[in-house]
């Protein structure tokens, strides 16, 4: 029986440290905001300082909790004790390639690619990764069948700007 | 009589064929969203927010409203058949309803949930109709100090009450507030935290945060941790209730409506408290106590489901009259109003009366539509559950892209969306509540403006918050919300310890 990853002391400490670092970044940013307050007496840098101070306290408390018996009242995240990284890489690739290619490939093809790669990821985490050509073709077809009507509805009916592969508005 | 006239006007607007169509499509999408695991109403509305560019305000509000309550109806279906509550409010329904379904009474559980939702939704809408204008009338008299304290109250309750740990709730809230700081300061026009990135000058869209945390985060969490989780589905039976079941259901519906409604109206948010209260009340009053937690008691489904719906409907009061969102979905709805340049608040009933009354009227219509969509057609909705998980989540990711990219046509936003999705995974894994992030982000800038206005009114003195009775009262409530649960917990622990001490070892 391995320990649930959300109970891991190093990970919890890391999160606490992350919050402290975030507080530090916010404070650094706050120092460059002017304190010019006009009539009010409270300038635009007031809330940034409050937020960074509270986050600093919270972050330190999280670290203390992590080191002394772990986060309090923690409800373990559902599912497996360990992450399935292979599936995560597939889905991440789908999302990031989509961001990279959407303006060049257009909405339909780029989203279909994201769809296909995400399906690979979920299948992989279910232990049924299917890399045969047939499955790629089938999922690409489904991906296009999902993205294309959405694209047409939003660009043709609602006149919302989405990038296309051509300028016709139909692809 | 005036209210009735205005409501009648609302019905005339809401009942035009095109608006009826929007309401119907909204209810359909809402029910589907409720049934499908992985997306909630907040995300569905967020993904469809780009339509605000083209569709006029009344129609899109009716549409979003339909999604909002449709999701509540659909959510009970999944809870009862799969025992996977989509959101906190349906947790109790899942407990008791799933027990009933395991014993072959899925149909009766679904029926009491749907009819109970209808009864509670309709009564709550009547209450909204008559109370909202009164609240708005009173709210006009609130000044910046009172407004600011009201928002602090919303922050406190949303971060301290939701989730088990106040510390993690506070972290979530302040991360949300930090996100809200990015962009141009509303009062002095200064850029804050933009790091020279032009995309950040306008601030981060709420849609991006909501879709990132809830849709992309959910998908990534699922692929990382839940790939091998198998869900077993209960068999669907006929949605027919016996005379005995009707007799046991209706008092529960009514009691729960009046438990749920007040919780929705206070800027506190969260439908889990009223659903648990209603469950506890039904368990105490029931003549069939032995069925609770064993074979499943119908009151235990009827009450919480009605309480949930009443609370959800009531959240429209603080949203429309004060401009304060108390749930994720109302936060997104506030964003939708803002896209039209409409600021919900006490003046909304005067400046956009036609829209508000059409929205309220469409809630009556929507409740009837949902009852029809859900009782006879429940078998159809259940078929949605046969979509393989891999396709479902891949589809959700495509729609997330649509919602986020459609807002600003920026590929930078898609990278940001992925980053927020990662944040969502960490938060979910380590039990940080997500709702305070969204509420903090959207309410933060409004609260900051009120606070600075209040201090200017007080000529730079913070004592303004103590000197005005309204704001002082609210401050006392805030302190009470923070302290009372702790005192109660400590008291209960001490009592338990004392009992354990006196008991023979």
Q: Which residues of A touch B185 (CB under 8 A)?
A: 33, 44
Q: What is the DSSP letter of A124?
A: H
Q: Which residues of B touch A29 (CB under 8 A)?
A: 192-193
- For tokens 């009592």, name the residue: B495
pLDDT tens, N- to C-terminus, chain A (171 residues):
467 888 889 999 999 999 999 999 999 988 888 777 666 667 888 899 999 999 999 999 999 999 998 888 888 877 888 888 999 999 999 999 999 999 999 999 999 999 999 999 999 998 888 888 999 999 999 999 999 998 998 888 887 888 888 777 777
CB–CB contact B226 A80 (8 Å): yes
Nearest chain A residue to B216, by CA: A95
In whole angstroms, what is the distance from residue B437 CA to residue B424 CA?
Answer: 10
HSE-up of residue B396 (Cα within 13 Å, Cβ side)? 31
Which of A40, A90, A143 is facing B452, going by the closest CB pair? Answer: A40
In whole angstroms, what is the distance from residue B415 CA to residue B405 CA?
Answer: 11
Which of B170, B216, B228 is facing A126, going by the closest CB pair? Answer: B228
Which of B171, B177, B456 is facing A62, going by the closest CB pair? Answer: B171
CB–CB contact B394 A61 (8 Å): no
Q: Which two tokens stand for residue B247?
A: 């007799």
Q: Which two tokens stand for residue B188?
A: 């002095």
Contact (CB, 8 A) for A115 and B397: yes
Q: Among residues B294, B245, B246, B301, which one has the least CA distance to residue B275?
A: B301
- For tokens 């960490």, name the residue: B426
Which of B187, B223, B456 is facing A125, going by the closest CB pair? Answer: B223
Q: Which residues of A touch B393 (CB under 8 A)?
A: 118, 122
CB–CB contact B165 A12 (8 Å): no
Optimal mutation site among A18, A81, A108, A125, interface B, most CBs of chain B within 10 A: A125
CB–CB contact B227 A147 (8 Å): no
SS (H, E, C) B127-196: HHHHHHHHHHHHHCCCCHHHHHHHHHHHHHHHHHCCCCCHHHHHHHHHHHHHHHHCEECCCCCCEECCCC
In whole angstroms, what is the distance from residue B282 CA to residue B259 CA?
Answer: 11
How many C-beta atoms surround the C-beta of residue A90 within 10 A? 22
CB–CB contact B455 A123 (8 Å): no
A131-A119-A157 Cα angle (round to 5): 130
Which of B50, B228, B429 is facing A127, going by the closest CB pair? Answer: B228
Contact (CB, 8 A) for B345 and B139: yes
CB–CB contact A98 B401 (8 Å): yes
CB–CB contact B185 A87 (8 Å): no
Mean pLDDT, 10 residues at a time, over chain B (505 residues)? 86 92 94 85 88 89 92 85 70 82 87 92 93 88 89 83 79 94 84 83 86 91 84 77 89 92 77 82 86 85 90 91 86 88 88 91 92 86 86 92 87 93 94 88 89 86 86 89 79 80 54
Quote the minimal CA–CA distance from A18 to chain B in Å: 11
In whole angstroms, what is the distance from residue B294 CA to residue B292 CA?
Answer: 5
Optimal mutation site among B224, B420, B460, interface A, most CBs of chain A within 10 A: B224
CB–CB contact B430 A11 (8 Å): yes
Contact (CB, 8 A) for B93 and B113: yes
Nearest chain B residue to A159, by CA: B54
Optimal mutation site among B152, B160, B190, B223, interface A, most CBs of chain A within 10 A: B223
Query: Phi-psi bin for A21: left (phi > 0), alpha (psi -120 to 50), beta?
Result: alpha
> What is the reported pLDDT for B87?
65
- CA B337 from chain centre, in angstroms, equals 16
How many C-beta atoms surround the C-beta of residue A8 within 10 A? 14
In whole angstroms, what is the distance from residue B420 CA to residue B216 CA?
Answer: 8
> What is the reported pLDDT for B219?
92
How would DSSP label each residue in B315-345? Answer: THHIIIII----SHHHHHHHHHHHHTT---S
CB–CB contact B460 A5 (8 Å): no
Residues facing B183 on adjacent strands: B192
Sign of the Cα torsion A161, A166, A167, A169 reads negative
> What is the reported pLDDT for A13?
94
Q: Which residues of A touch B272 (CB under 8 A)?
A: none
Residues facing B49 on adjacent strands: none
CB–CB contact B50 A77 (8 Å): no
Contact (CB, 8 A) for B252 and B302: yes
Which of B409, B430, B459 is facing A15, going by the closest CB pair? Answer: B430
User: Helix crossing, B2-14 with B17-35: angle to 10°?
Assistant: 80
CB–CB contact B174 A51 (8 Å): yes
> What is the reported pLDDT for B504?
47
Nearest chain B residue to A108, by CA: B398
> What is the reported pLDDT for B410?
87
Q: Which residues of B touch A42 (CB under 8 A)?
A: 451-452, 455-456, 460
Rg over alpha carbons for chain B, rounded to the nearest Å, is 23
- CA B68 from chain centre, in angstroms, equals 8
CB–CB contact B178 A51 (8 Å): yes
ipTM of the complex: 0.93
HSE-up of residue B25 (Cα within 13 Å, Cβ side)? 15
Nearest chain B residue to A32, by CA: B192
Contact (CB, 8 A) for A12 and B426: no
CB–CB contact A158 B459 (8 Å): no
CB–CB contact A74 B165 (8 Å): yes
Q: Which residues of B touch A122 (CB under 8 A)?
A: 222-223, 227, 389-390, 393-394
Optimal mutation site among B394, B396, B407, B423, interface A, most CBs of chain A within 10 A: B394
In whole angstroms, what is the distance from residue B438 CA to residue B175 CA?
Answer: 9
């Amino acid at each position: 029986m391995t320990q649930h990853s959300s109970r891991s002391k190093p990970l919890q400490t890391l999160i606490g440290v992350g919050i402290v670092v975030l507080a530090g970044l916010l404070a650094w940013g706050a120092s460059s905001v002017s304190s010019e307050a006009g009539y009010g007496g409270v300038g635009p840098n007031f809330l940034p300082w409050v937020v960074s101070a509270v986050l600093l306290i919270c972050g330190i408390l999280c670290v203390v909790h992590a080191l002394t018996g772990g986060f309090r009242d923690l409800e373990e995240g559902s599912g497996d004790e360990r992450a399935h990284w292979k599936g995560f890489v597939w889905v991440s690739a789908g999302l990031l390639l989509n961001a990279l290619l959407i303006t060049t490939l257009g909405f339909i093809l780029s989203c279909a690619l994201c769809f296909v790669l995400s399906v690979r990821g979920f299948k992989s985490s279910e232990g049924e990764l299917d890399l045969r050509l047939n499955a790629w073709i089938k999922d690409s077809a489904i991906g296009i069948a999902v993205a294309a009507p959405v694209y047409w509805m939003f660009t043709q009916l609602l006149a919302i700007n989405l990038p296309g592969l051509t300028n016709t508005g139909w692809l | 009589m005036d209210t009735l006239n205005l409501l009648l006007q609302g019905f005339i607007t809401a009942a035009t064929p095109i608006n009826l169509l929007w309401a119907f499509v909204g209810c359909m999408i809402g029910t589907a969203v409720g049934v499908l695991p992985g997306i909630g109403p907040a995300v569905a509305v967020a993904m469809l927010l780009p339509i605000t560019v083209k569709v006029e305000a009344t129609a899109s509000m009716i549409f979003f409203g339909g999604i909002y309550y449709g999701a509540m109806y659909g959510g009970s279906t999944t809870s009862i058949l799969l025992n996977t509550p989509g959101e906190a409010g349906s947790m109790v329904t899942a407990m008791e309803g799933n027990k009933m379904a395991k014993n072959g009474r899925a149909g009766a559980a679904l029926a009491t949930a749907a009819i109970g939702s209808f009864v509670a939704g309709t009564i709550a809408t009547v209450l909204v109709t008559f109370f909202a204008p009164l609240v708005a009338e009173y709210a006009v008299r609130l000044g910046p100090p009172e407004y600011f304290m009201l928002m602090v109250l919303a922050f406190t309750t949303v971060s301290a009450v939701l989730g088990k740990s106040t510390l993690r709730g506070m972290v979530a809230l302040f991360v949300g507030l930090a996100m809200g700081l990015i962009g141009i300061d509303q009062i002095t026009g200064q850029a804050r935290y933009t790091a020279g990135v032009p995309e950040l000058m306008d601030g981060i869209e709420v849609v991006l945060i909501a879709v990132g945390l809830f849709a992309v985060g959910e998908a990534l969490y699922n692929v990382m941790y839940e790939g091998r989780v198998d869900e077993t589905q209960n068999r669907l039976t006929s949605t027919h209730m016996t005379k005995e079941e009707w007799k046991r259901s209706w008092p529960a519906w009514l009691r729960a409506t009046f438990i749920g409604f007040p919780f929705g109206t206070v800027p506190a948010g969260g439908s889990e408290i009223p659903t648990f209260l209603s469950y506890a009340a039904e368990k105490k009053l029931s003549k069939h106590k032995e069925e609770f937690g064993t074979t499943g008691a119908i009151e235990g489904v009827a009450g919480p489901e009605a309480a949930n719906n009443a609370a959800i409907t009531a959240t429209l009061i603080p949203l429309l009259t004060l401009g304060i969102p108390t749930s994720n979905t109302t936060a997104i709805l506030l964003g939708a109003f803002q896209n039209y340049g409409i600021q919900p608040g006490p003046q909304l009933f005067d400046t956009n009366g036609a829209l508000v009354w059409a929205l309220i009227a469409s809630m009556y219509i929507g409740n009837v539509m949902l009852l029809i969509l859900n009782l006879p057609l429940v078998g159809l909705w259940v078929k949605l559950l046969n979509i393989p998980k891999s396709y479902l989540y891949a589809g959700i990711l495509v729609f997330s892209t649509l919602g986020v990219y459609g807002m600003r046509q920026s590929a930078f936003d898609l990278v940001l969306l992925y980053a927020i999705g990662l944040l969502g995974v960490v938060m979910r894994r380590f039990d940080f509540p997500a709702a305070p992030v969204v509420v903090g982000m959207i309410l933060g800038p409004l609260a900051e403006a009120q606070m600075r206005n209040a201090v200017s009114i007080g000529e730079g003195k913070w004592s303004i918050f103590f000197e005005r009775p309204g704001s002082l009262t609210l401050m006392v409530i805030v302190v009470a919300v923070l302290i009372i649960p702790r005192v109660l917990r400590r008291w209960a622990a001490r009592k338990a310890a004392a009992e354990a001490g006196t008991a023979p070892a």
